[in-house]
A and B are shown apart, each in its own frame.
Chain A
Amino acid sequence: MMTTTRYPKEGGSVLLTAILTLTILSMICGLSLYVTSQNANATSQTASWQVALSGAESGVEHSYYALNKSNWTGWHTVTGSVPTTQPTGGSTTTAAPTSGQYVYFTRTLQVSGEGGGTIKFWATIDTAGLPLDHNGNQWYRIRATGVATAPGPPRVSNQKRDNDLRKISLRTDRMSGLALSTPQAARMIEVIAKPNNTNLWSRAITLSSYLQLNGTGVIDSFDSSSSLYSTGHLYDSSKHTTNADIGIVNSTGSDLKNRYVYGDITYSGPALQRTSNVQGSISTPFSTSIPATADPVWNAGTYTSYSGGGLPVTTVTAGTSAQPTLIKVNGDFDVGGSQVFTIAAGNPAATDNTIIIWVTGSFSMSGSGKIVQAPNTKVTWYVDKDITVGGDAYPNADGYASSVNFVGVGTNNTVTLTGNSNFLATIDAPGYDVTLNGNGSYVGALIAKSLYIGGSAGFHYDEALASNGNNNSIDNYSYASWFENNSELARGVTY
Chain B
Amino acid sequence: MKTSSYSRIQGFTLIEALMAVACGSMILAAVLAAGTALQRSFMAVEGYSIAEGDQLRVSDYIAMDCRRSTSAAVANNVLTLTLPNYYDNSGNPITPTFDANGNIQYGTSPVFVSYYAQGTDFIRQVAPSAVGSTTTTTIIASNIDSFTVLPQDITSSVTCTITFAPRFRYLAGPGPVNGTTVYSNTFLRNAAARQ
List chain A positions with a Cβ less than 8 A from chain B: 1-3, 5, 28, 32, 35, 39, 42, 46, 49-50, 128-131, 133-134, 139, 141, 159, 161-162, 164-166, 190, 192, 242, 264, 270-276, 278-284, 479-487, 489, 492, 494-495
Contact = CB atoms under 8 A, between A and B. Distances in A.
Given A165-B61, A276-B194, A484-B67, A1 B1 contact: yes
B91 A489 contact: yes
Given A39-B49, A162-B57, A264 B95 contact: no
Contact of A280 (B39, B101, B136, B195): B101
B3 interface: yes
Contacts of A2: 3
28 contacts: A28-B38, A35-B42, A42-B53, A128-B95, A130-B96, A133-B102, A159-B54, A161-B54, A161-B57, A164-B138, A165-B61, A192-B96, A192-B104, A242-B102, A270-B153, A270-B156, A271-B153, A278-B194, A280-B102, A282-B103, A282-B192, A480-B104, A481-B104, A483-B68, A483-B83, A484-B68, A485-B93, A489-B91
B102 A134 contact: yes
B91 A273 contact: no
Contact of A35 (B6, B46, B56): B46
A60 to B, nearest CB: 10
A240 to B, nearest CB: 15
Interface of B: 1, 3-4, 6, 9-10, 35, 38-39, 42, 46, 49-50, 53-54, 56-57, 60-61, 64, 67-68, 83-84, 86-87, 90-93, 95-98, 101-104, 106, 111, 113, 126, 136, 138-141, 153, 155-156, 188-195
Contacts of B141: 161
Contacts of B106: 481, 483
A161 B144 CA distance: 15
A282 to B, nearest CB: 4
Given A274-B195, A280-B101, A483 B126 contact: no
B91 A481 contact: no
Contacts of A242: 101-102
A482 B104 contact: no
A494 B102 CA distance: 27
A271 B3 contact: no
A495 B126 contact: yes
Contacts of A35: 42, 46
Contacts of B103: 280-282, 480
Contacts of B139: 161
Contacts of A1: 1, 3
Contact of A281 (B6, B189, B192): B192
Given A275-B194, A276-B195, A489 B92 contact: yes
A64 B158 CA distance: 26
Given A161-B139, A489-B90, 13 more contacts: A5-B6, A28-B35, A28-B39, A35-B42, A39-B53, A46-B60, A161-B57, A166-B60, A272-B155, A274-B195, A479-B190, A481-B96, A495-B126
B190 A495 contact: no
B191 A495 contact: no
Nearest to A157: B53
A264 B102 contact: yes
Contacts of A485: 86, 93
A161 B58 CA distance: 10
Nearest to B90: A489
Given A39-B49, A159-B50, A275-B195, A281 B104 contact: yes
A494 B87 contact: yes
A486 to B, nearest CB: 7
A481 B190 CA distance: 6
A388 B90 CA distance: 62
